[in-house]
Amino acid sequence: MVAAPVSIDTLCINSIRMLAVDAVNKSNSGHPGLPMGCAPMGYALWDKFLRHNPKNPKWFNRDRFVLSAGHGCMLLYALLHLTGYDSVTIEDIKEFRQWGARTPGHPETFETPGVEVTAGPLGAGISNAVGLAIAESHLAAKFNKPDTTIVDHFTYVIMGDGCNQEGVASEACSLAGHLKLGKLIALYDDNQITIDGRTDVSFTEDVLKRYESYGWHIQHVAEGNTDVNAIAKAIEKAKAVTDKPSIIKVTTTIGYGSPNKSDTAGVHGAPLGEEEASLTRKELDWSYGPFEVPEEAYNQYRQAIDRGAKLEKEWNQVLAEYRTKYSKESAEFERMLRGELPDGWEKDLPTYNPDDKGLATRKHSQICLGALGPNLPELIGGSADLTHSNYTDIKGESGSFQSNSRDKRYLHFGVREHAMAAILNGIAYHNSGLIPYGGTFLVFADYMRGSMRLSALSELGVIYVLTHDSIGVGEDGPTHQPIETIPSLRAMPNMLVFRPGDGNETSGAYKLAIANRNRPSSLCLSRQAMANQANSSIDKVALGGYILEDSEGAPDLILIGTGSELDLCVQAQKQLQQEGHKVRVVSMPCVELFEEQTDSYKNEVLPPTIRKRIVVEAAETFGWHKYIGLDGDSVTMHRFGASAPGGTCMEKFGFTVENVVAKSRGVLGID
């Protein structure tokens, strides 16, 4: 019997499958099942559709590819390697999941050029993709001209059953349908297997019908293991539908090719082992050794290199034309792509003195957004349906980003906090200079914490506008009053948590949040008004903590305050000074930035020998002992709040000048 000649499609597809099998076997850890099942759709998409430049992964106008089912990262690494990215050599693949490798266990933007979003936490990737598509369509509406198109790419996603079960994806895809994001195309790997076994133990909904209810265009490819043409035709058709996002359900077999493990949960997240790898080679008629890719496959895939160079070159020519015809727009566009902020962007941030009327910091925040808006056209954001509580609107602007007004930059996320955060991440991942922000009540940071963590991990300069930051919320009661939320955010690496204590500090927080393009900021803002301080300033916020009021000579006691409780410290200090005590007030609007100061500065603000210290913050004490140590005290929260007017709550829970004074006396030993 003479073997039939193997088609180039089959060679290319099996190259992915066997790289995944070999890499997972070698590392003895990983998820071979998805790459084996999704290899045909991966090949079809990357070989026939994806417009990218392997030798310049950052080329702006590339199509974005998101592997939302991030555990199947060997699919992505194989595709990056096969199409010629320098970031993933065959040696990198052999180092899969090892210390320092560019091929970590889940795709991470900060490790591997060519990876568009950090994935693994399910549902996040598809939701980021909605953000990528929003960014593309906004920039297209803003910069493209009738005769010159400089922003024009698709966002493709491969997602699995897990992504489709996660609520964040439901939220984001509902919004994507509403927004008619026609250039978002998701391939849904319908393999009917999750870790617990067959999906029929928990997941029997009609997924396509659900997407149809969101307003998506839906298709189904039944023979996803083999029918590359059908996949390609479906993608072609999806591209032609420009007024709806598209989902293509591609029915596959997890671990396709493995005679004993395919179509089982066993191939989801465990190596095949040597023996089953051999049997798989036989089954797939694969005569190549471990990590060996047939030359023909490389030749086919690596046509992407020339194609990509050509695409980028053509685009550069268009950009050059654009530069000539539309110099103002191109200057802005190219500045944004370079990641530079415009000159004087911060010049209109307001400053205050104690005579200025005390406002809520959420109100100061609104004033900052209004001051920044005209100077920072790249600022884009909104609220999870709390615009008039968060005050996230930009003064003087009307309308919002909708399917017929994509040039607008205000985003109505709906009551979808988690999707909001994931979409903000997606806008940041687009890496085109846009500065995304989003608002909700601070307590609902809990709803989106999964994506806030990804902002921090992936070094995305997302700005979270989190209002109603304490029991000062009042009547809405304990479900709406954050107690532990601020400490829980401070515990997160790479997250800047600001709790400004007046107008100047709010301006300072914005200045830093905007300037920090590689780490997210959480702005914790009050519902209620507070006084403006005499010695606060925009610039001091950069120190994280600083001496706001001081005693003559070394203090006996240091009061550390934040946010709405800062003024309690100032008032208590006045009273204690009158009684002859030497008291310093330290304002600490950003613990993380204070920690980054020199030891000598920190010791100047909080001298190690002065251990009589009290922190005053209407939140859980948790974390503050770093500054109050074993000898200090606190006026903080130790339980959930209560429903009553905000002022009553503050008083009942001890946030009064009297109580701060009383605690101070206790620490000073004069009671």
CB of 604 to its own copies, least distance (A): 16
CB of 424 to its own copies, least distance (A): 15
Catalytic residue, from 312, 346, 417, 592: name it: 417
- How far, in Å, CA of 117 to CA of 202, rounded? 28
What minimum distance in Å lies between the beta carbon of 269 and its own copies? 8
What whole-number distance in Å separates Cα of residue 450 and Cα of residue 438?
15
CB of 98 to its own copies, least distance (A): 6
Structural contact between residues 116 and 41, judged by C-beta atoms closer than 8 angstroms: no
DSSP annotation of 389 reads: I
E-only strand ranges, 501-590: 521-525, 529-530, 546-549, 557-561, 583-587
- Quick one: tokens of 24? 């997972």
Query: Between 10 and 488, whose beta carbon lies closer to its own copies?
Result: 488
First and final C-alpha spacing in the chain: 100
Q: Give the residue carrying structure tokens 């609007």.
A: 589
Q: Could you tell me if 563 and 655 are in contact, meaning their C-beta atoms sit under 8 angstroms apart? A: no
Pairwise CA distance, residues 236 & 234, whole Å? 5
Distances (CA, A) of 283 to 3, 13, 274, 287: 13, 14, 14, 10
Which of 167/354 has CB closer to its own copies? 167
What's the closest the beta carbon of residue 228 comes to its own copies, in angstroms? Answer: 28
The set of long-range contacts for 650-659, using a CB threshold of 8 Å and a minimum separation of 24, is 650/471, 650/472, 650/618, 653/471, 653/618, 655/471, 655/565, 655/568, 655/616, 655/618, 656/568, 657/568, 657/571, 657/572, 657/575, 659/635
| 17 contacts 41 by C-beta, under 8 angstroms | no
Pull the structure tokens for residue 449. Answer: 């914490």
We find the least distance from the C-beta atom of residue 492 to its own copies, in angstroms, to be: 5
Nearer to its own copies, 25 or 383 (CB): 383
The residue assigned the tokens 């993608």 is: 235
How does DSSP classify residue 405? B
Q: Quick one: DSSP state of residue 402?
A: B
293 or 411, CB closer to its own copies? 411
Helix (H, G, I), strand (E, B) or coil at 187: strand
Comparison of 28 and 278: residue with beta carbon closer to its own copies: 28
Residue burial 347-372, b: 16+ Cβ < 10 Å; e: rest: ebbeebeeeeebbbbbbbbbbbbbbb
Report the residue number, 409 or 511, with the smaller CB distance to its own copies. 409
* Counts of helices then strands in the chain (DSSP H, E): 24, 20
Give the Cα separation of 106 and 104 in Å (integer).
5
Does 417 participate in catalysis according to the annotation? yes
301 vs 401, which CB is nearer to its own copies? Answer: 401
CB 591, min distance to its own copies, A: 10
Of 488 and 536, CB closest to its own copies: 488
Q: How far is the CB of 539 from its own copies (least distance, A)?
A: 27
Which H or E run includes 140?
helix 124-143
Of 23 and 548, CB closest to its own copies: 23
CB of residue 629 to its own copies, shortest distance in Å: 4
Are 615 and 624 in contact by the 8 Å Cβ rule? The answer is yes
In whole angstroms, how close is the CB of 440 to its own copies at the nearest point? 11
HSE-CB for 671 with a 13 A CA cutoff: 9
Shortest distance in whole angstroms from residue 555 CB to its own copies: 16
C-beta closer to its own copies: residue 327 or 518:
518
Instruction: In whole angstroms, give the CA distance from residue 337 to residue 60.
Output: 8
CA separation for the pair 423, 244 (Å, rounded): 18
CB nearer to its own copies: pick between 421 and 435: 421
Cα angle 535, 493, 512; round to 5 = 35
| Cβ atoms 519, 456 nearer than 8 A | yes
Tell me the catalytic residues.
417
